[in-house]
Each structure stands twice: as structure tokens, then as C-alpha cells.
Amino acid sequence: MIKLYISILFLLISIPSFAVKKLEPVEYILCKHAKMVRTIHITTDDGKNCATTYTKAGVPRIVGTGVSLKGCIGFVENIRGNLEEANWKCRPVPKASIENHVDE
């Protein structure tokens, strides 16, 4: 139980303040291999700062931040390239939204 609290605390500390709002991702990539799914997406706060999030095994992790969208796109292209080299099938998902929620 203590590990869970520490993990949650770490996630809260590592998430930029703009990631707490409902955000429309600038780019959202869905990758599949066998029955596994991973996602990569970029969020921005009014187009100034950006964050690239990679979700693996259902756990989202911010893998890069930048002061311009161009920097975050580089993170997405790098991760997508690595997954596709490992025979993952990736595709952009149009019109996705991200919401924070808690399962009860």
C-alpha cells in the first residue's frame, strides 16, 4: 500500500500543472502489437509549452516537455519509429480528448 502512495505522489509531482485540465491533444498516436496497446500524445497549454506522454501497460508517463510544439513532435516521432521497428502498428487517431478520472 505504501508503494501505491509513493507512486501516486511521484506522478503528481512529475505532471506539469497544465496537465491537470481537460486538454485536447495536438497529436495522438495509437500503437498495437498482438493484444497490447500503447499511446503517444502531445498536449499544450495555449500553444506555448508542450508535453509528450507515452502510455505503456496502462500507465501514462511524460517522456518529454518543450517550449515549442516542434520539440514535442520529435519525441513522438522517435517513440513511434522505435515501436514500428519492433513490428508495432501505429496510426494517428483523429479527434481524441483526454480527461482525468478516478475509477471507483
- State the pLDDT confidence band at 45, using cuts at 50, 70 and 90: confident
Give yes or no for a contact between 42 and 51, defined as CB atoms under 8 angstroms apart: yes
What pLDDT is attached to residue 62? 96
Number of H-type helices and E-type strands within the chain: 2, 5
For residues 31 and 1, the model is more confident at 31
Q: Give, rounded to a whole angstrom, the gap between the first and last alpha carbons of the chain.
A: 17
6-36 pLDDT, tens per residue? 333 333 334 444 443 445 567 899 999 999 9
Arithmetic mean of pLDDT, 82-101 = 82
Helical H runs in 1-104?
2-14, 69-85
